[in-house]
Amino acid sequence: MSAAALELSGVEQFTSAPEEVFRVVTDVERMPALIADLQSYEKVDDRQLKCVVRPGFSFIRGKLNLVIQLEEINPPESALMRIAAKGIGMEIDVESRFRISGNDSGTQVAWSAQITRLKGLVAAVSPALISAAAGVVLQTSWAALREQLGESP
């Protein structure tokens, strides 16, 4: 499978102000609360977080070590996040971008995530299965962000 063939995107709506949404999604101290299946984490600096997750997907066994790096931060409008995941017999790299804009209802977050590399056993997994698993993780993360912002689901 070509890693570039797997891209996810969407739009999420929040009632909070754009500045607050941006602050939460780019604050490495608050970021752990948004990560599904988190086991442990370590703040490296203001732009990097290392963590261990234990995803509950049949095609990923054991723990994944993640390095989350924030780049191209343009408050309160956009940022680029690179995620490198390594586990037993696999590596996954993801590049995620988001754009934040205010509207009459609060804040809109337009996001995209592209898998830039799949290596090892996970490369043989069907794109549909990876996409479905990513969708579950994303739903959990968006719900956690709403909770962090004090918003209703």
List, for residues 51-104, the tens digit of each pLDDT value.
999 987 766 778 999 999 999 999 999 999 999 999 988 999 999 999 999 999
pLDDT of residue 136: 87
pLDDT of residue 3: 45
Statement: residue 40 has pLDDT above 80: yes
Q: State the Cα–Cα distance between residues 69 and 121, nearest whole angstrom.
A: 24
pLDDT of residue 41: 97
Statement: residue 48 has pLDDT above 90: yes
Q: Any idea where the domains of the chain sit in the sequence?
A: 3-149
Find the DSSP H helices in the chain: 18-26, 127-149
pLDDT of residue 5: 61
Q: Are 88 and 61 in contact (CB under 8 A)?
A: yes
pLDDT of residue 135: 87
Statement: residue 19 has pLDDT above 80: yes
pLDDT tens digits for range 118-146: 999 888 888 888 888 888 889 999 999 99
Q: For residue 116, give the H/E element and its range.
A: strand 106-120
The number of angstroms, rounded, from the C-alpha of 103 to the middle of its chain's C-alpha atoms is: 23
Domain at 3-149, CATH class: alpha beta
Strand runs labelled E in 23-77: 38-45, 48-53, 64-74
Question: pTM for this one?
Answer: 0.89
